[in-house]
Amino acid sequence: MSIREDAIRGTVTPLFENCAANENVTVQALMQGVAAGTICIPKNKNHQFDRIMAVGKGLSTKVNANIGSSKDYPEVSQELQKLCVCLKAGADTVMDLSMGGELDAIRQEILKSCPIPLGTVPIYQSIAEVVEKQKKKIGEVTVAQMFKGIEQQAKDGVDFMTIHSGITRSTMDRVRNHKRLMGVVSRGGSFTIEWMSFNNKENPMYEHFDELLALLKEHEVTLSLGDGIRPGCLADATDRGQIQELIHLGELTQRAWEAGVQVMVEGPGHMPLNQIQANILLQKQLCHGAPFYVLGPLVTDIAPGYDHITGAIGGAIAGAAGADFLCYVTPAEHLKLPSAEDVHEGVMASRIAAHAADIAKGLPGAIEKDIAMAKCRNNLDWKGQIDLSIDPEKARRFREEGSSYKGDACSMCGSYCAIKVYKQATAPDRLQK
Amino acid sequence: MSIREDAIRGTVTPLFENCAANENVTVQALMQGVAAGTICIPKNKNHQFDRIMAVGKGLSTKVNANIGSSKDYPEVSQELQKLCVCLKAGADTVMDLSMGGELDAIRQEILKSCPIPLGTVPIYQSIAEVVEKQKKKIGEVTVAQMFKGIEQQAKDGVDFMTIHSGITRSTMDRVRNHKRLMGVVSRGGSFTIEWMSFNNKENPMYEHFDELLALLKEHEVTLSLGDGIRPGCLADATDRGQIQELIHLGELTQRAWEAGVQVMVEGPGHMPLNQIQANILLQKQLCHGAPFYVLGPLVTDIAPGYDHITGAIGGAIAGAAGADFLCYVTPAEHLKLPSAEDVHEGVMASRIAAHAADIAKGLPGAIEKDIAMAKCRNNLDWKGQIDLSIDPEKARRFREEGSSYKGDACSMCGSYCAIKVYKQATAPDRLQK
């Protein structure tokens, strides 16, 4: 029985009990969500970790952080260091997007050290191995190699996989007949399209979707339906190619559910902020309420070096509108592979967006954190403020950098603290008329 | 004739022509906005600068940066350095919030070096001088001293002044009869309330509002009606005290307009993101379309060290909903006086929010910048991308930190660049069916 099948049959398992406790919902509510498909629990049967989490309706907005080697940085040690940064910063999941070095070994090492769900984009490895080791072209990877790669990763314990099954000939017709400014900016999407073009064949992840589902179900891998046609710039947002793929993703979502496989759906991308709400509504409608996993959205194209901020703006709006899962964006986006510091800043920016969204959605327990902070502020309780901060280390460091931080003052207002002045003005000894 | 009176009479002046050219609108549209009060042009007749700007409906969203000395950091040199950072980072206006050192001299030095509108909160100086020099209490500053301070600043050339005329006995009744978590967090607001409490008198900036208007008109100072009761935490947002003050601000806006004085209205503050749109609508309705100048809003209380991000999220949403002017928030907010680096990061975050809002509002010329960037990205034109970046220096530095930045690749995807792969897949030599 898969997690989804257990939920549908109403079979209460320790996994559901563990997850419900962590998510602060009842076991019944969690299982109903999984059965309806509005919640997924990314948890491969071969990946052991204690704190089971879930993504979807009625739960806190989750944050994913990407790590991964490249040809220039093929060492697993660097990726394990970034994994630690992600965990410390509070990421809910991690994706290993490695394309350089010994990919099986890197993934297996990361999985061993990863106490949260791990995701991958399996096509990356298939392509990297064919290109780097066999010195062949992207189009020369075989369908068997693609499936073998997915199977290996599933056996290793990958909890969720991005697979670009929504890119079909029909999708590509629409991308081509409506000229985009930036074509396709998804790496997995571009690999898929190159394979289709080179071989003049349908996307094997679409054509052999049932086999894919059987494989994912066997190992209990959650399917994350990739948005290969996501807009790479504001001008391309919400165009016919993107929406055509989304229609396919909705159809594939239903097929996956029927096969007992858990699903989430990936989304844009670059998008003017006034289009975000409509895009969330569209995804929720076309994909029957499946959890929505957004990359950003980035609300402007002109801020390289600050895309953790453009992504936090879009992510907060998306989350408030119903997106369930935010893929972080780091300050290095569009410019370089992120450093450990970039990873930290990216996770923090996304966590802020997720929390702001949770408050807006009225999630129980969300604004309570802000109320606790406000009480500490009003009491000039600096220890409490730092402890309640989303990043206590940074808050402490900043406060200590202010010269007059001793006692209950900060260097911002010094002795002219509004809170103190207001308390004096409204103290009981003042005669109020 | 004041700027507002010229606009109402239809007297085209070089100031309007200069401003309209900078704002990329017709002189007629600009003057109609000024006459209607939906646009203000902060420009003291005693402050000489070339590039006249305006704030309001139909114009780009503007960004203000605060600088200012404190008791611990009383040197003018530091503030001039911060002014340079603001100018280089692209702030549209600067406010001098100094409360330490020789305040007249500091302001006059800043004004000399300031080629953009300068704002102040005059009560800060009145209080600082009475407390520090005369060793008296906040409540002991006289009404004459307050007005003398405003007059001096107006003569020096301050372009806009925050004055908290909306805090009245009636406002305070409502603040007191509905317990707030954080009371009053506006410094100017708390000074005003302390003065009222200490003296058991009405707010002189309300009681003597007509005299105030005469003084502002004489020197052509734009009135920025302060929001002394702005919420200091999410839990206090949109409460009766805040809205009572806003009702007063609407009444005072009309009185100022009748007296020929330009006005903008200040707003929150800390606020859940789902309340922002309603707050903008409320301000625009109650204040008859006067330009809205928001501080943040900060969409969560729990992210000290990252409040430039919480403010950028709120500012982008506010701007898209119609806010005209964003007061920056730096990473140092709630923790310390901002450093030069904090000032830079704060301006950048607010500029990103303002630009994202302008795109959402459909402001002519806004998305065109993003389209130009998208074209450079699609052409792998790195020089163009860096030149078009909101912060070219940071973008260049990040790119150079990636080891494989030479040529047309970046270390993010290396040779697996989606743009290149997609171009290969869709090249004319590929047979497409």
Q: What is the predicted pLDDT for the residue at B405?
A: 56
Q: What is the predicted pLDDT for the residue at B175?
A: 87
Class of A61-361 in CATH: alpha beta
pLDDT digits 0-9 by tens, A29-64: 999 999 999 999 999 999 999 899 999 999 999 999
Which residues of chain B lie closer than 8 angstroms to A352, CB-CB?
300, 303, 306, 309-310, 313
- Is residue A200 less than 8 Å (CB to CB) from chain B? yes
Mean pLDDT across the stretch B81-101? 97
As a whole-number percent, the residues of chain B with pLDDT over 70 amount to: 98
Residue of A nearest to B415 (CA): A71
- Is residue A278 less than 8 Å (CB to CB) from chain B? no
Q: What is the predicted pLDDT for the residue at B394?
A: 97
Q: In this model, does residue A212 exceed pLDDT 70?
A: yes
Which helix (H) or strand (E) element contains residue B267?
A: strand B263-267
Q: In this model, does residue B403 exceed pLDDT 80?
A: no
Q: What is the predicted pLDDT for the residue at A403?
A: 64
pLDDT digits 0-9 by tens, B251-261: 999 999 999 99
Residue of B nearest to A411 (CA): B336
- Closest to A186 (Cβ–Cβ): which among B71, B191, B418? B418
pLDDT digits 0-9 by tens, B117-149: 999 999 999 999 999 999 999 999 999 999 999
Q: Residue A293's closest CA among A54, A92, A55?
A: A55
As a whole-number percent, the residues of chain B with pLDDT over 90 amount to: 91
Distance CA A388, CA B371 (A): 41
Q: In this model, does residue A233 exceed pLDDT 90?
A: yes
Distance (Å) of CA A64 to CA A55, A91, A277: 11, 6, 21
Q: In this model, does residue B404 exceed pLDDT 90?
A: no
Mean pLDDT across the stretch A90-96? 98
Q: What is the predicted pLDDT for the residue at B433?
A: 44
Q: What is the predicted pLDDT for the residue at A360?
A: 98
Question: How many C-beta atoms surround the C-beta of residue B428 within 10 A?
Answer: 6
- Is residue A196 less than 8 Å (CB to CB) from chain B? yes
Burial of B399 (0-12, 13-18, 19+ CB in 10 A): buried
Q: What is the predicted pLDDT for the residue at A241?
A: 94
Residue of B nearest to A395 (CA): B305
- Is residue B29 less than 8 Å (CB to CB) from chain A? no
Mean pLDDT across the stretch A182-190? 95
pLDDT digits 0-9 by tens, A388-430: 999 999 999 999 888 665 666 677 777 889 999 999 999 988 8
Across B300-386, the runs of DSSP E, i.e. the strands, are 325-327
Q: Residue A316's closest CA among A358, A281, A344?
A: A358
- Is residue A426 less than 8 Å (CB to CB) from chain B? yes
Coil, strand or helix: which one is A309? helix
Please identify which residue in the block is written with the tokens 């406060």. A399
Mean pLDDT across the stretch B152-167? 98
pLDDT digits 0-9 by tens, B199-235: 999 999 999 999 999 999 999 999 999 999 999 999 9
pLDDT digits 0-9 by tens, B62-72: 999 999 998 88
Q: Beta strand A55-56 with A62-67: parallel, antiparallel or unpaired?
A: unpaired
Which distant-in-sequence residues (6+ apart) come within 8 Å of B142 by Cβ?
A: none
pLDDT digits 0-9 by tens, B279-324: 999 999 999 999 999 999 999 999 999 999 999 999 999 999 999 9
Radius of gyration of chain B (CA): 23
Distance CA A163, CA A227 (A): 9
Mean pLDDT across the stretch B264-291? 98
pLDDT band at A314 (very low <50, low <70, confident <90, very high): very high
- Is residue A71 less than 8 Å (CB to CB) from chain B? yes
ipTM associated with this complex: 0.96
Distance CA B187, CA B184 (A): 8
Enumerate residues 299 to 358 of chain A having a beta carbon within 8 A of any beta carbon in chain B.
299-306, 308-310, 312-313, 316-317, 320, 331-337, 339, 348-349, 352-353, 355-357
Tell me what the pLDDT averaged over chain A comes to: 95
Tell me the sheet residues that pair with A425.
none
Distance CA B384, CA A309 (A): 22
Q: What is the predicted pLDDT for the residue at B197?
A: 96
Tokens coding A107: 């993934």
B112–chain A nearest CA distance, Å: 25
Phi then psi dihedrals of residue A269, to 5 deg:
120, -155
Distance CA B34, CA B45 (A): 17
- Is residue A63 less than 8 Å (CB to CB) from chain B? no
Question: Between vectors from CA A44 to CA A23 and to CA A311, what angle results, nearest 5°?
Answer: 60
Q: What is the predicted pLDDT for the residue at B370?
A: 98
Which residues of chain B lie closer than 8 angstroms to A128, CB-CB?
416
Question: What are the residue boundaries of the structural domains of chain A, listed by start?
Answer: 61-361, 368-431
